[in-house]
Amino acid sequence: MKKVEVKLCLGTTCFVMGSSKLQELIDIIPEKFGDKVSVSGSACLELCSSSTEYSKAPYVKVDDDVVEEATVEKVLEVIEGKLK
């Protein structure tokens, strides 16, 4: 099975809107899912400037799905959905 890829946006907007707090996913994801899921950062996912509504940061991408106003719980939920 292909690995699920999680990318956290670390651009300015996302960082101040909460992605700094998402960094605990670095530890949680391997603990919970082992090597089925990989997690990395992104200099900027360019979602805040392309979305028509600007206020949905922080953004996280799980494969090609965008998680808006991401929290640790939301991201974990999306990953679980993918692994089902």
Partner 1 sequence: MFIDIDCHQQKKFGQSAYGDYFTSKRYPDSGRLVAVLSDGLGSGIKADILACMTATMLLKFIEAESDIAKACEIIMNSLPVCQVRKISYSTFSAIDYEDGTAKIVEEGNPEFIWIRGGKVLQPPYEVITSKTFPNRHMHIYHISLQLEDRLIFCSDGVTQAGIGSRELNLGLRREGLIKVLEDILKKSPSISSSDLSKAIVRAAQDVEPGRKAIDDISAVSIYCRMPRNALVFTGPPYYQDKDNYYARIFNAFEGKKAVCGGTTANLVSRELGVPVETPLSMNIGDLPGLSTMDGVDLVTEGILTLTRTSEYLEQTRTSYPDDAAGRLVGFLLDSDCITFMVGARLNQAHYDPNLPVEIEIRKNVVKKIANLLENKFMKKIIIQYM
For the bound state, the minimum distance from the C-beta of residue 28 to partner 1, rounded and expressed in Å, comes to 12
Report d(CA 73, CA 16) in Å as an integer.
18
Single out the residue of 1, 4, 5, 13 in contact with partner 1 (rule: CB under 8 A).
13
Residue type for position 32: K
Single out the residue of 31, 35, 40, 73 in contact with partner 1 (rule: CB under 8 A).
40
Site for partner 1 in 16-35 (CB under 8 A): 16-17, 20, 23, 26
- Can residue 71 be called a binding residue for partner 1 (CB under 8 A)? no
The residues of the shown chain that bind partner 1, judged by CB under 8 A, are 8-13, 15-17, 20, 23, 26, 39-44, 46, 48-49, 54-55, 57
